[in-house]
Structure 1
Amino acid sequence: MSQPASSSISAESISELTRDTNYGTWRFQKGWKPLHVVDAEGCWFTDDAGKRYLDMSSQLMCVNLGHKNPRVIESIAEQARELPFMGPAYATNARARLSAKLLELLPAGLEKFFFTTSGTDANEAAFKIARMVTGKNKIISRYRSYHGSTAASIAATGDLRRWAMEPAGKGMGFVFAPETNCYKCPIGHTYPGCNIACADYIDHMIRNEGDVAAVLVEPIVGTNGVLIPPPEYLPKLREICDRHSVLLIADEVMTGWGRTGKWFAVDHWNVKPDILTTAKGITSAYVPLGLCATTKKLADYFEDRYFSHGHTYEAHPITLGPAVATIEEMQRLALVERAAEMEPYLRERLEGLKTKHVSIGDVHGIGLFFAVELVKNRTTKEPFNTMRDKVEGKPLVVDQIAAKMMADGVAQQSWVSHFVIAPPLIVTKEELDFGIDALDRHLAIADALAVQS
């Protein structure tokens, strides 16, 4: 079809033109009909027909401040007026201000920063730094994980999004361990009698793989189920890495910036990684910024050695200025504390759904970060769908429910067999009720397909 000039695009053709000229991510292209969004504010966004939707997953678990925070918006304009771009070889006010803020908030010991434009870029930097410093190649990741879409980050990803890139990904030095999932242990144990066998498995891998530079974990698994580790897991993993002189990389792209009721998820266990990566909430996603933070010990390695990494947009001022404003707004509104305070209410509401709906196998989460896991059979914990179903384009039960919720004005992220409940940290109890009530109504779809016990 012939494409209209941008100045003459009608509101009716926005969705069609987007669909025809853009790729829809992580999906079959057939059937993609992107909703035309024209506004967003607070915990809501609005389509071209004026219908409002509650954003129950902060878009991609990133708009922690909510939409259209005035101070952050103004900071973007201020930074553009002050200095819209300067290359990474130079010091800028924005770079210094953000660096000072990070020293206040990051886990103690993380003192050297590489700024990127996304979480996947931050992980790419982490892999390179780990390999340069240790002189080793392999990085242990876990199966239920997602670390980004660029070459190494997708090779490090444990879930189905890696599959299309193989076998090339297997040559990039990533090997996989079982995730920590106490609801359905991948190696058949039961907590606490397991003695944290999933960490011991990684110990075994390090001793037998050889050439291991680092262990890479999402401290709390994100998209793949909001899996909360038992309290002993991360401290034990830290000890294992130290014993073998292996670095520990914490991917906090999703869990950072107050989402879990702490500034960073590792703070719940007082574990200090050698490298921490983050993005998303650092600017509430208003501008694209990622961060790779390392200890001074790692940074000192490069004092007399070549740091072989960089890119044009590293430390881009337009991304750094708004990050300072985002952090200041989070502090002013006490949003980290608020996520912790709202957790009991959200947990109570979701646990209430579990008692009512036979299709809910488990509810797990922390702060304002929860998953509702659907199962066909509570006894066997068999899910309605698998990763293979998603890759093959089979209809997913969670997607059917999410579509019904969308029709009711609630945008809810679903993934294979669960929902990720992660609203903006400014969400009210009334807004939570609105979203959870919609989920409650449409879980009847799954209940009708579940085994009644």
Structure 2
Amino acid sequence: MSEISQIDTLSSEQVTNITRQTNYGTWRIQKTWKPMHVVDAEGCYFIDGAGKRYLDFSAQLMCVNLGHKNPKVVESIAQQARELPYMAPGYATTSRALLSQKLLEVLPPGLEKFFFATSGTEANEAAFKIARMVTGKTKIISRYRSYHGSTTSSISSTGDPRRWAMEPSGKGIGHIFAPETNCYKCPIKHTYPECGVACADYIEHMIANETDVAAIIVEPVVGTNGVLVPPPEYMPKLKAICEKYGVLFIADEVMTGWGRTGKWFCVDHWGVEPDILVTAKGITSAYVPLGLCATSKKIADFFEDNYFAHGHTYEAHPMTLGPAVATIEEMQRLNLVERAASLAPYVEEKLKALKAKHKSIGDVRGLGLFWGVELVKNRETKEPFNTMRDKVEGKPLVVDQIAAKMMGMGVAQQAWISHFVIAPPLIVTKEEIDFGINALDESLAIADALVE
């Protein structure tokens, strides 16, 4: 009898082996993948097949904002399944109406019409198609060190190395790249504030010298690629540039939305109203897969007399919408947006103390409960231990070695190329923050020993 048929008697090792043999591990060379068997999760912790508990210090993929197994959201999933597990998107449902009302309470002003998808990348695909239909133009400007998803247009608009394997197809479908806002290591070698936010000026230069630009898409704070927080002038300036040239402004808040940065949405920090906002992840605390593409009334009005050429079977799926209502209500009841903002100074103080102690830390930056810790082998040159190409070629990364040591200490920490993304569930306590940062503190000896 094969292992796969022995479902009721699988050991933890068998679960790992079957998964490894029959599934693809994403964004990696396959021979190095040995996935952990996880059997349970609750609050800020998950448990492996051997019964060991881990602090989820990055909320999985920066998405389990409510923590694991929130009772209200869990019950809403069961209740929706009992009431109406599926209906085609051409029908109205109670959960669809209730969620739409809740969204109007929390989204930035001016976003009034919604397309529901099942992931962030699908929502971005919708945003690109909508922008092209409304403007009659084709090109989308995005930034290096961005990530917008894995489907064709989304990966083509992604600036990081996850795009490379898909080219040249991505080059032919209207995406061009601009420099990211990264004041720690400015890609155009300017110094803020004397530069006058030259990175935004360069995007204006691009728009003025390109034809056929429909939209620009930005993560208000770049997520996986470094938690890059822009200077306060950047987003308002970029929005003004878009208005000047008739270019739509798309805010990709898949990761930064839902209280992660201490506001409901990251653009709220600067009072910027995007033409289109895309989000996912925290909208259901990732309990069920839901993405959202929200548009302005001006865009919505265009389609009153023009054909809306987009849709799919799982659009506005009731099983995803009911839990989203419960998630928003739980965030409001627990004051989690305010909680993320109130804990930010505590996390900042702890991380800056780490930087003062460890010569391998080049920079610490963040907002709310969304922080990046960047490692360097040389603080003066800011040279990292590893590069994007090392990741693609499957070379050992220093951050992965540190994350593995932290895992052994009971802390699961998201690492990417040369930095860590610290983004625990918004219900995290100060004691849990201390536990996670202490594990990072001890594990950084690995990097300190390699500093030049």
Partner-residue secondary structure (3-state), 2:250: strand
Alignment correspondent of 1:172: 173
Gaps of 5+ in 1: none
**Cα distance per residue 1:314-352 (max 9 Å; x no partner):** 000000000000000000000000000000000000000
Q: Distance in 2 between matches of 1:83 and 1:2?
A: 37
Partner-residue secondary structure (3-state), 1:4: helix
Q: Distance in 2 between matches of 1:334 and 1:405?
A: 30
Pair 1:243 & 2:244 matched: yes
**Cα distance per residue 1:369-390 (max 9 Å; x no partner):** 0000000100010111100111
Q: Distance in 2 between matches of 1:138 and 1:279?
A: 24
Alignment correspondent of 1:91: 92
Alignment correspondent of 1:335: 336
Pair 1:61 & 2:58 matched: no
Partner-residue secondary structure (3-state), 2:191: coil
1:34 partner letter: P
Alignment correspondent of 2:5: 5
1:118 partner letter: S
2:291 partner letter: G
> Equivalences for 1:94-173 in 2 at 5 Å?
94-173=95-174
Q: Distance in 1 between matches of 2:150 and 2:99?
A: 26
Q: Distance in 2 between matches of 1:134 and 1:222?
A: 28
**Cα distance per residue 1:30-76 (max 9 Å; x no partner):** 02111000000000000111100000000000000000000000000
Are the counterparts in 1 of residues 3 and 10 from structure 2 also a CA contact under 8 Å? no
Alignment correspondent of 1:382: 383
Deviation at 1:10, TM superposition (A): 1.1
TM-score of the pair, normalised by structure 2: 0.99
Alignment correspondent of 1:189: 190
Q: Distance in 2 between matches of 1:78 and 1:275?
A: 31
Alignment correspondent of 1:277: 278
Q: Distance in 2 between matches of 1:400 and 1:7?
A: 33
Q: Distance in 2 between matches of 1:36 and 1:276?
A: 35
Q: Distance in 2 between matches of 1:125 and 1:343?
A: 33
Q: Distance in 1 between matches of 2:117 and 2:446?
A: 42
2:4 partner letter: P
2:218 partner letter: V
1:250 partner letter: A
Q: Distance in 2 between matches of 1:266 and 1:31?
A: 38
Q: Distance in 1 between matches of 2:385 and 2:191?
A: 23
Deviation at 1:421, TM superposition (A): 0.2
Q: Distance in 2 between matches of 1:133 and 1:402?
A: 45
Q: Distance in 2 between matches of 1:283 and 1:6?
A: 33
Are the counterparts in 1 of residues 72 and 326 from structure 2 also a CA contact under 8 Å? yes
Of 248-257 and 2-11, deviating more is 2-11
Pair 1:363 & 2:364 matched: yes
> Equivalences for 1:402-413 in 2 at 5 Å?
402-413=403-414
Alignment correspondent of 1:433: 434
Alignment correspondent of 2:79: 78
Alignment correspondent of 2:254: 253
Q: Distance in 2 between matches of 1:291 and 1:268?
A: 20
**Cα distance per residue 1:214-266 (max 9 Å; x no partner):** 01100000000000000000000011000000000000000000000000000
**Cα distance per residue 1:121-152 (max 9 Å; x no partner):** 00000000000000000000000100000011
Deviation at 1:2, TM superposition (A): 4.5
Q: Distance in 2 between matches of 1:368 and 1:304?
A: 43
Are the counterparts in 1 of residues 3 and 14 from structure 2 also a CA contact under 8 Å? no
Pair 1:232 & 2:229 matched: no
Deviation at 1:393, TM superposition (A): 1.0
Alignment correspondent of 1:325: 326
1:410 partner letter: V
Q: Distance in 1 between matches of 2:352 and 2:6?
A: 49
Partner-residue secondary structure (3-state), 1:30: helix
TM-score of the pair, normalised by structure 1: 0.99
1:191 partner letter: Y
Gaps of 5+ in 2: none
Partner-residue secondary structure (3-state), 1:25: coil
Q: Distance in 2 between matches of 1:4 and 1:294?
A: 46
Q: Distance in 2 between matches of 1:405 and 1:373?
A: 16
Q: CA RMSD in A?
A: 0.9
Count of paired positions:
451
Alignment correspondent of 2:346: 345
Deviation at 1:299, TM superposition (A): 0.8
Alignment correspondent of 1:450: 451
Give the % identical residues: 77
Are the counterparts in 1 of residues 362 and 382 from structure 2 also a CA contact under 8 Å? yes
**Cα distance per residue 1:64-103 (max 9 Å; x no partner):** 0000000000000010111100000000000000000001
Q: Distance in 2 between matches of 1:46 and 1:303?
A: 50
Q: Distance in 2 between matches of 1:45 and 1:407?
A: 14
Alignment correspondent of 2:22: 21
Alignment correspondent of 1:45: 46
Deviation at 1:394, TM superposition (A): 1.0
Q: Distance in 2 between matches of 1:7 and 1:52?
A: 24
Are the counterparts in 1 of residues 147 and 159 from structure 2 also a CA contact under 8 Å? yes
Q: Distance in 2 between matches of 1:448 and 1:214?
A: 45
**Cα distance per residue 1:200-221 (max 9 Å; x no partner):** 1110100111100001100000
